[in-house]
Amino acid sequence: RDLAVLDARVSGCRACPRLVAWREEVARVKRAAFRDEDYWGRPVPGLGPADARIAVVGLAPAAHGGNRTGRVFTGDRSGDWIFAALWRAGLASQPTSTHVGDGLELGDVRVAAAVRCAPPDNAPTPAERDACNPWLARELALLPRLRVVVVLGGFGWTALWPVLAAAGYALPRPRPAFGHGVEVTLDGPRGPLTLLGSYHVSQQNTFTGRLTEPMLDAVLTRATELVRP
Ligand code: SF4
């Protein structure tokens, strides 16, 4: 199986009734500023090439961001932050991501979310996280050169452990706590894999200064150092 097949399959998933109802309701009602647009209103697949050595895992699509544009992190403030940072790190062809077909290309990085459907209040339940975990597991398994996972926020950090355990990675006990700049390297069937924690690029963090551009740049610089020594 390849990523294109996976992307098509996840786009049709309806496993979580609450999220299916929410994503479709948002797409029907729309935000006034986007009333002339056709919302995607479905699960949002990952973005980036199959030979990526770095993955960036966020929380979930935003109601009027990825759920509108159909592309992960695209069309909202969180996306403004992450794609500008990827561009500064040499991993994106341009610093903005506004819509499918805007010319953005990613190199050596695949961006995905732990939960693929926009949740109410940006808050998936643990059951929804667990339901979506197999999609993340399949996606990471389809990145044969993967060496680094940048995890945006504690939700993705928690979601990743069972995925990595199922993939045969030896997990530390106790699990390392999430934090900005935390770095953990695991041994697994495809060699070492390093997890790098970063505060999420949510407005709650970026507006308050909890996450600054230099802080995010430092994590992505570390990621590129690990794959390009
Ligand atoms: Fe499917 Fe994941 Fe969306 Fe649930 S959150 S409906 S598992 S794609």
Looking at this predicted complex, what is its ipTM? Answer: 0.99
Domains in the chain: boundaries: 3-227
- Of ligand 1's listed atoms, the one at least distance from the Cα of 13 is 1
Distance, in Å, from the CA atom of 214 to the CA atom of 181, rounded to the nearest integer, reads: 12
* Residue predicted with more confidence, 213 or 189: 213
Q: What would the CATH number be for the domain defined by 3-227?
A: 3.40.470.10
Question: For 5-63, what is each residue's pLDDT tens digit?
Answer: 999 999 999 999 999 999 999 999 999 999 999 999 999 999 999 999 999 999 999 99
Q: Mean pLDDT across the stretch 68-97?
A: 97
CA–CA separation, 40 vs 24, rounded Å? 9
Ligand 1 and 14: CB distance under 6 A: yes
Mean pLDDT throughout 206-219? 97
3-class state of residue 10 by DSSP: helix
Reported confidence tier of residue 185, pLDDT bands at 50, 70, 90 = very high
**Position 229 pLDDT exceeds 80:** no
117 in ligand 1 pocket by Cβ < 6 Å?
yes
Q: Quick check: 69 and 75 in contact, CB under 8 A? A: yes
Calculate the average pLDDT of the chain.
Answer: 96
Closest atom of ligand 1 to CA, residue 135: 2
Q: Cα of 208 to ligand 1 centre, how many Å?
A: 30
Asked if residue 201 has its Cβ within 6 Å of ligand 1, the reply is no
Helices (H), 147-191: 154-166
End-to-end CA distance of the chain: 31
Distance CA 60, CA 163 (A): 16
113 pLDDT above the threshold of 90: yes
Give the residue among 181, 184, 178, 176 at the shortest CA–CA distance from 217. 181
Q: How confident is the model at residue 228 (pLDDT cuts 50, 70, 90)?
A: confident
Question: How far is ligand 1, taken at its centre, from the CA of residue 217, in Å?
Answer: 30
Residue of minimum CA distance from atom 7 in ligand 1: 132
How close is the Cα of 39 to the center of ligand 1, in Å?
A: 17
- Are the beta carbons of 149 and 195 closer than 8 angstroms? yes
State how far Cα 117 lies from the chain centre: 12
pLDDT at 1 over 70: no
* Reported pTM: 0.97
Closest residue CA from atom 3 of ligand 1: 117
Q: Partners of 208 in the beta sheet?
A: none
| Backbone angles phi and psi of 18, in degrees to 5 | -65, -40
Q: Which two tokens stand for residue 101?
A: 């077909």
Q: How far does residue 215's CA lie from ligand 1's centre (Å)?
A: 31
